[in-house]
Structures are given as structure tokens and as C-alpha cells.
Structure 1
Amino acid sequence: MPIKFGTDGWRDIIAEDFTYENVMRVARAHAQALRATGGTSVVVGFDTRFQGAGFARVVAEALAETGLNVLLASEYLPTPALSFAVVHRGAAGGVMLTASHNPPQYSGYKIKGAYGGSATPALVAEVERALREPQPHNGPPGSIRSFDIREAYYAQLDRQLNLAALRAYEGHVVHDAMGGAACGWLTGYAQHAGLRAQVTELHGRPDPMFYGVNPEPIPQNLGELMGVMAGETGTALGVVTDGDADRVGAVTAGGRFFNSHQIFAVLIRHLHGRGLRGRVVKTVSGSRVIELLAGHLGLELLETPVGFKYITDAFLEGQADDAKAVLIGGEESGGLSSRGHIPERDGLLNSLLMLEAVAASGKSLDTLFAEIEAEVGFRHEYDRADLHLSPGFDKEALMREVQTYTDVAGHPVEGKKTIDGVKLLLSGGASAMFRASGTEPVVRVYVEAQTPGDVQAILGEATRRVLALDPGQRA
């Protein structure tokens, strides 16, 4: 069967294509690619999905058979902890058995580089080549040893955080782990760091079915957390991490969802307030607020295509040249990293940074973001639609069509960006972005405007225009 790699590895349905046999094939190809670069060791971890430990053991054995020394996680762990372990242990790379936020029936093989972030396209291409052209390994096998990175990872979080501010906070924090790889990790850190906050864990027992939802921190999956937070007031904070804990979401007192754009903005302002400087890196699907805030604070802004690998590239560039150092980089889906950390999305660190921002200011996330809106003169409202289209839908024709639009829902087009898909810049600071998936017949439409009514009007018309071009919808 053909194994298709995305930007962060390979994902497939368990027992259909994600089988022990195919996982071994990928691991042997990965080992071949690492050996070609002189690599001798690799770190392997897994999340809470079905047979995670079993798949990880198979991967470790296949890697060791082909000459690599393997460090195998002793229990499930978050992806950012696995990525940190690669750097901390000086390994040539890492493997995380996870399908991140995908539905429970999926698992995946995420490839991590020696720097503790997503593999470069060159390494992924080399693994794909090795799958097509496997070479036998005639040398001695490597070893397999277990490891536990929790203490060292917690020490890394200590270095990134203002512990005095965090320890002064005595409010309520609810962490929805969604049954995923962060189960027990945030409460464990609170005990490690001596925090006085009341930390409650929701869905804190590992569950391969993720308590009946897809483990993605978006409103439709957070009904229970919103219900818990509806009864809270003041600076109480709800945080949520996805299936492998690299993405983050938030819910504020009163049960209000606080989206990834808002999180990004608050963390930029907070880190800047701590005296940290550097570039702000955002994907093109990110909010206008990020652009305006970077300008307001005198920070250079770099805009990239969608995908955290582009943000990782910017972090690596900044590590090589301090003049290009990144303060913070983030994407619309809730993945962020900041200066001094590994170039990897980290839902646990970002949860704690949000808490730190609240603790240091004595203000809720809602209040902090309202202050940002006032400072930059723009009110942020946002929504997105994922349109599932017919298999033969011509996505390239759609992108050409979108570029001819002169208005959307009565909002004239004042400019456009084609970094990734097409983002139409509309009057009043609004925008409508159209982006086609590279692997499935899906088109995503992202809309930002200054009122909820404008967002829904623009999103509704944009959606209708896309669907009108799909013969399957018309049928």
C-alpha cells in the first residue's frame, strides 16, 4: 500500500493501513534515512491512542534491528515532551506515535528532527525514498532502553516561566486533557513548581476514545469544560490540550471560548511586557490583530504559509542568527512556541504562559484581549467553515475564481494575499481566506471582521459561492 506523508509524518486508520507491518516498514525507512546522515540514536514516544505502547515497541524494535540505539518512553507522553527529549538526550531524531487531533480510529508516525521540531521536507523526502528503495542493514543491531523525561521537561518549563508570578496566583484553573497525552502532566507540574492555584483536571484519565469527541480544542468539543467554566468568575481559567498536547485552547470565566488568535495576541503582549524581543511569526490564516499588535509594539512580523514547519524554519533561522530570533510563532489551529524553547508547538507551556499573563496582571484573558483591541483599534470576530466537497472538485479552478471576486457580502475587495490559498482583504479590515486541503476534497474558509453579523454574512456568502461550483452539491 502507498504510505503518504504530510507535513508532520504519516497518519492512517488503525488496523486498516496503520498496522504493525506498515509501521515497521516506515520505521526501517526512517532508520535508513537517519543512518545516511550519520545518526546513531533516536527517541520514541506514544500518546493514549489504542495500542500506542504496542506500536511504539514495534517501532523501537525495527529501529534497533537496523542499527540505531533507541530510547523508548516508559509511558505515554506529550509530543512537546518527546521533542524536548530528542534535544535533551542529543538524539539524531525522534518518533511520536500519535495522530494528534484526528479522530480516535487514527494513529500516526510523527517524525522529529534533532533540533526538537517537525522534520524538514528533505528528511521526509529521504524517508519516502527509502520506502521505495529499501537497503538491507548488515551491521550489528542497536539497543533499546527506556527513559522518563518528565523531570527534565518540567525543569525546562521552569526556565521558560515566571515562577514568582505563577506561585502568587491562588485562583482556579481547569485543565481539560481530553483523555489525551497531557493527562496528569499539568497537575503534575503544578505540584512540581509549588503552585498555589487550585488545579482541577477534566477528562484526566487516558481514554483511547477521547470521551466521545475528536481531541481537538475547538468549541464543539468543549461542552463539558464550558459548562464547568460557566459557573466561574473573575480570573478563573480553563485550558484545553489536544490529543498529543501540542495544541492549546482556552475557556474563560462564564464559559466563553477564547480562540487561538486571541491566545496568540495575549502571549505576544505578555512576553513583550517581560522584556523579551524578537520577530513575530504567523501563518497567513492568522488574525489581523496579530499584525496590528506587532506593529504597535515595534516588532518585526513574518507571515508564512499554513503549517508549523514554516514557523519551525523561522525559529531555526533565528537560532543561527540572533538578529532574526523569534519571540513567538503561532498558527490558527492553536500551535505556538516562544523564544528559548524548542521549535515545537507546546500546549502545556502555552497553558502556563496564559496563566502567567493572568497572574502577573490580575486580569482575565478577556480583559487582556479587550485592552489589545483598544490599543490597535480593531475588534476581532472570527469563524471558519470546513467544506467537504465532491472527490473530483477542481480546487485550482476555485482559487482562480476567488481571485476575480470584487466583493463578498457587500464588502469590497481591497487587496489579496496568495502565500497559501487566497486571502481576500475586504473593507473595514475584514478578510475571507480560501484554502484547499492538499490531501482530501476539503476547502477551508476563514473569515475575520469586526462584528459577528459581518463574519456570518461573509462566511455564508463565501460558502455558498464555493458550493455552487461543486457539481456534486448541485446534484
Structure 2
Amino acid sequence: MQVKFGTDGWRAIIAKEYTYDNLKLAALASGAYFLEHPDKSNGVCVGYDTRFMSKEFARFTAEVLSSMGLKVFLADNFVSTPAVSLFTRDHRLAGGVMITASHNPPIYNGFKVKASYGGPAHPEVIDEIERNLLTVDPETEVTPVPELISMTDIKSYYVGYLESKLDLKLIRESGLKIAHNAMYGAGQDMITRLFDESMINCYHCSLNPGFGGINPEPIPNYIADFVEFFREVETDVAIINDGDADRVGMLDEKGEFVDSHKLFAIILKYLVEQKGQRGEVAKTFALTDIIDKLCRKHDLTMHLLPVGFKHVSRLMTTNDILIGGEESGGIGITSFLPERDGVYIGLLILEIMARRQKTLVGLVEELYEEFGFFSYNRLDLRVAESRKQAIIEAAAGGKLTSIAGFPVTGFNDLDGFKYHFEGGWLLIRASGTEPVLRIYCEADSTEKVEKVLAFASKLA
């Protein structure tokens, strides 16, 4: 079977596994699920990002779904993944499909399934779709029904929702100078709709299916040129989004990268301490321990989950979740949408800065003052399968007694192999979206993080 759903949908190399034939199978299997949904008569929506052939793949997906008798709201332009989720929820659709490979290299494309509640389909839904794949006939003839396909301005609907959920007037009056790096992705043409052009410096806000030779992922590895640009234009803060704009990273006024660990903690602290909000908190296995400390301080229930926002989204639809997030830049607030959203979260940080009259540096320093300094980094090892398995074997089972000379104080194998040591932790796990081995570390010094990562990369 050429179609296999991973941590967040099906992703494959264009023209190798990601072909029209395999896309047809994914669409037919998903359509079979949608046809069993109580809201099937309301239809489904299909969106797409800025990747090579995404528009054409989305059109084909809509044609397959229409041939099954489903009404399809097809995006009339590229949109972010959260925009598709929002439109699906607010129009009570049976579900949605987003053609994207998110942060993957440009040779990939993908297929994300969105559920009626406006978030990633629960794992059991994906299981059902994969079971449908086993019975789908690849020779099924696709006969599009044009009258069932409605070209729809999903982007404007989403931007209007942003305007209703954020204090944009406060941000405008703050005088903040903002930079936005869309990484050539679907987040471009959203923030610029909300502010006067004198407030915004756009970077990589154009169509480039090759993404300038990088992965469209908002992490330090891929933003060196943007940091130079940011410092040249003397901007106060920057929002960086991935290819489908559901992830976020930021730069403070010094041009230093602020990762999602710190952004998550800043937002949680603000929601509870400034806004007086309560609720449970969901975090995935690779996210900072500062969240645990904040939850203990405010007596909030915290859920520790496997990697993948679909696990967070599930709890957002079943529990009283205030905020949920993951290491890779995905943060979601249930009152907005049970979905991660890089544009919304970036703008919310701007709102916090404006309301509290603090710089992003100041907000991060508050965390350090309360919880001590903490540093984080991640290595993505693209190594031979034999090497990958050797490292996994060396880390499995909690057999390591020390990490780079630091005695092990705890072990957890919820998703991969996580070792705690004094002042930090190490996690080793295989990616669910790319053929790489990920090595994560958080510690109380940058030097310790680099030492631990170097140790882990040489295991076995």
C-alpha cells in the first residue's frame, strides 16, 4: 500500500509515491468516511498550500469527492491549514482535506484530514480511513460533478475570524514594528491584511515551490538569512510560520529566536495570571518542563501526550482544555479553535506584548526569573537505517545510566525514549513525518544541551 498516514496525515515524495493514482486512493478512502458522517449533506471543504502542484492536487481531490456525491467547498486560493479547519467547523461540514506537506522538504506533498469539530482527525478516524484504503478499488472511475464543487474564499473567512478574536486595535496603537517570514508558505497575505503596510516588513512572502532551497520550518536551521534581514530593518518582533502556517517561531527585538516552548509558557502564564482563565493543559512529550511547573503553581491538570497535535486536539474536543501544544511550533487555544495555528499564536503574542507593555525579551526574562534559565535544541539525523536503528537500540529500555556524564534520574518511553538528568532531559525518537531520527534536549545551560546532543548522536 503506497498511502500511509503518519503523525499528521499522509506525506510522500511528489511523482514517487505522491501521484494522482495514490491521491485518488486517499480521497476515495476519506470520502467513504465522510459519507458515513451525520453532516455529510453539508459537504466537505478542500484547501491547499503553496507547494508544487498543490492547487492541481486539491482540484483533483475535489473532483474525486464530488464524484462520490459530496458537495465540496474548494478554496479559490492557497490557504493555511487552520483556515480549512475553521471553515469545516463553522459550516458544520462532514470534514475537510488540506493538501500540504507542512514543513517537509519541497519534494514532498501531503494530505491532511480535518474533522467536523475543526481540528486534526482523531487517530481512530485515521484508522478507519486506512481500513477503507484496503478495500478501495484503484480502478474506480472518477466522474467529477461540477455543480457540486463551489469555489470558496476560505482565506477571507479566516481573516475575518482573526479580527474578531484579537485586539488588533491595541496592537496597531502599540507602535510595534513587525516582520513576517511566511517561508514562502500559505501564511503570506494574511497578516498584511490586518495591519497598515507601515507596520509590516514581509519576507519570503511570495510563491516559490522550492522554498528557496530550505525546509519551510520555523526553526533556527532555516532562518539565518531572515535574521540578517530583521536586524537590518530595525524591527521590534518577528513572526515566522511554516509551509501551511499552523506552526510558529518568533524573533525578539535582538533578533534572537524564541521557540514554541517559551511562547507556550508565556501564553499560559498570561491566560491564567492576567486573564484569570482556568482549564486543563495538554502538552506533548517533547515540550518544556516549564509547563509542568506552571501547572503545579496554578493547580492545573496537565496531560502528557505522545508527539503529534492530533493527540492534543482530541483532548480539546473531550476535556476542558485551556491550551495545548507541542515542541515543533504547534500551539492551540480551545476558545479559538481545537487546532494549532501559527498566525493566530504569533498575533496573540503581539497582543500580550502590547497589553503588558513588554518586549518579547522582557516576557522571556520573566520566565527565567521565575523558573531559572532553560535552553532547548533539536537534532534531525538523516542517517542510514542501520545507524538509526543502532541509536534507537542503544537508547531503548532505559538502559543508559548516565547522559554525557550526567546521572540519569528518570526514564519514560511514552513516545520514544526520554531520559531525565539533573537540570534537563534527552528524548530520542523516530519522526512520524520524515525519514529522520530526532534528538531533543532541554537543560539549564546551552552548553549542557549541546554536550547532550553530541553524546546522543554518537550512541552505538
Category of TM-score, reference length = shorter chain? over 0.9
Query: Is 1:152–2:135 an aligned residue pair?
Result: no
Cα distance change of structure 1 residues 37 and 151 upon mapping to structure 2, 3 Å threshold: closer
Cα distance change of structure 1 residues 400 and 106 upon mapping to structure 2, 3 Å threshold: closer
Higher alpha-carbon deviation: 272-281 or 57-66: 272-281
The two structures, once aligned, show a CA RMSD in angstroms of: 2.3
Displacement after TM superposition at 1:397 (Å) = 2.8
Q: C-alpha offsets along residues 223-253 of structure 1, whole Å, 9 cap, x if unaligned?
A: 22211222466x8101110000000011112
Q: C-alpha offsets along residues 144-194 of structure 1, whole Å, 9 cap, x if unaligned?
A: 111112333223223432344323211210000111101111111225xxx
Secondary structure (helix, strand or coil) at the match of 1:333 reads coil
Q: Which residue of 1 aligns with 2:402?
A: 407
Instruction: Please show how residues 34-45 of structure 1 align to structure 2 within 5 Å.
Output: 34-38=34-38, 39-40=40-41, 41-45=43-47
Higher alpha-carbon deviation: 430-439 or 87-96: 430-439
Cα distance change of structure 1 residues 75 and 442 upon mapping to structure 2, 3 Å threshold: closer
Conserved 8 A contact 2:216-2:242: yes
Displacement after TM superposition at 1:327 (Å) = 1.5
Displacement after TM superposition at 1:95 (Å) = 0.5
Q: C-alpha offsets along residues 48-84 of structure 1, whole Å, 9 cap, x if unaligned?
A: 1111111111111110001111110111111100110
Residue 341 of structure 1, aligned match among 326, 336, 342: 336
Q: Structure 2: which amino acid aligns with 1:342?
A: L
Count of residues in Structure 1 that have an aligned counterpart in Structure 2? 452
Conserved 8 A contact 1:281-1:314: yes
Query: Is 1:180–2:182 an aligned residue pair?
Result: no
Conserved 8 A contact 2:100-2:109: yes
Q: Which residue of 2 aligns with 1:397?
A: 393
Conserved 8 A contact 1:382-1:452: yes
Displacement after TM superposition at 1:27 (Å) = 0.9
Instruction: Please show how residues 66-465 of structure 1 align to structure 2 within 5 Å.
Output: 66-134=68-136, 143-190=148-195, 198-231=199-232, 236-272=236-272, 273-318=274-319, 325-376=320-371, 378-392=372-386, 393=389, 397-400=393-396, 403-427=398-422, 429-437=423-431, 442-465=436-459
Cα distance change of structure 1 residues 447 and 340 upon mapping to structure 2, 3 Å threshold: same
Identity of aligned residues (%): 38
Cα distance change of structure 1 residues 440 and 172 upon mapping to structure 2, 3 Å threshold: closer
Normalising by structure 1, report the TM-score: 0.90
Structure 2: gaps spanning 5 or more residues: none
Higher alpha-carbon deviation: 91-100 or 272-281: 272-281
Conserved 8 A contact 2:33-2:128: yes
Conserved 8 A contact 1:282-1:303: yes
**Cα distance between partner residues in 2 of 1:374 and 1:177:** 32
Q: C-alpha offsets along residues 405-435 of structure 1, whole Å, 9 cap, x if unaligned?
A: 22112211112222211211111x2111122
Conserved 8 A contact 2:408-2:420: yes
Q: Structure 1: which amino acid aligns with 2:199?
A: Q
**Cα distance between partner residues in 2 of 1:391 and 1:30:** 31
Displacement after TM superposition at 1:96 (Å) = 0.5
Displacement after TM superposition at 1:436 (Å) = 2.6
Secondary structure (helix, strand or coil) at the match of 1:383 reads strand
Higher alpha-carbon deviation: 196-205 or 218-227: 196-205
Q: Which residue of 2 aligns with 1:2?
A: 2
Q: Which residue of 2 aligns with 1:50?
A: 52
Displacement after TM superposition at 1:339 (Å) = 3.0
Q: C-alpha offsets along residues 356-402 of structure 1, whole Å, 9 cap, x if unaligned?
A: 111112211121111112122x211111222233324256633435x
Name segments (4+ residues, structure 1) moved above 6 Å: 135-140
Structure 1: gaps spanning 5 or more residues: 319-324, 470-475
Secondary structure (helix, strand or coil) at the match of 1:359 reads helix
Cα distance change of structure 1 residues 179 and 165 upon mapping to structure 2, 3 Å threshold: same
Conserved 8 A contact 1:60-1:70: yes
